[in-house]
Amino acid sequence: MFPSQEQSVYEQLQDIPTLRGLVTAAVNIFDHDVDQLMQRVFRKTDFAVKSVVDSLLGSHGPLAELNVRLKVLLGLGVLETATFHDIEHYLALKVRLNNESQEYALSSALTLEFLQQLHSVQDKAMLLKLEKELQLTASGVQDNKDSLLLQVKTLRSEKILRSYLLLSISTLCEQLQIESPL
């Protein structure tokens, strides 16, 4: 990924306070990047080929859905399996969050669970440490939810988990910036 593209991803995601908002924005970024990759793979200059491809990739075509495009790219060997599965995890989490009325903070257990499933998160040791820390904090300070210590630890956890999410999203976007091998 070019530095300006990476910066654009960070700028789009930096001020989003909730897990739902961040995941929704990430899926939109992936949709755009997958579309660009599909353009590089399938767009040809020959008029006959171009007209067929345009109808397949158009907004009402059979390849309009992100999950279908991902499967095509995986099947053609353009996408790595780990990248495919990670983006699928983001899609599944988006659906789950959109079906729930609860807003999740970035420091939630759901965020930790989600990050631990991703291949694009290489160093999971910090996540395990953070999970234990959050459990201890939650059990030790349940009576005093306004505790300054709890607020500081929650803010620290949110910053760490936001960083993990941003790095994961950036890594996946980078993996979608490949040239067409076909």
Q: Does any domain span residue 74? A: yes
Residue 60 lies in a domain: yes
With cut-offs at 50, 70 and 90, classify the pLDDT of residue 128: confident
Residue 30 pLDDT grade (very low, low, confident, very high; cuts 50, 70, 90):
very high
In a domain, 9, yes or no: yes
Please check whether residue 182 lies inside any domain of the structure.
no
Question: Per mean pLDDT, which range of 8-17, 38-47, 63-72, 139-148 is the poorest?
Answer: 139-148
Is the model's pLDDT at 9 over the cut of 80? Answer: yes
140 has pLDDT over 60: no
Q: Across all residues in the chain, what is the average pLDDT?
A: 83
The domain of 19 spans: 3-175
Highest averaged pLDDT of the listed ranges 41-50, 70-79, 89-98: 89-98
The candidate with the shortest Cα–Cα distance to 1, out of 162, 175, 164, is 175
Which pLDDT belongs to residue 75? 92
Average pLDDT over residues 75-91: 95
Q: pLDDT confidence of 93, banded at 50, 70, 90?
A: very high
Do the domain assignments include residue 181?
A: no
What pLDDT was estimated at residue 70?
93
**Could you tell me if residue 46 is inside a domain?**
yes
140 occurs within a structural domain = yes
Q: What is the pLDDT of residue 44?
A: 63
Q: What is the CATH number of the domain that holds 96?
A: 1.20.120.330
In a domain, 180, yes or no: no
Q: Is the pLDDT of residue 100 over 70?
A: yes
Residue 105 has a pLDDT of: 87
For residues 23 and 38, the model is more confident at 23
- The pLDDT of residue 58 is 61
**Number of domains present in the structure of the chain:** 1
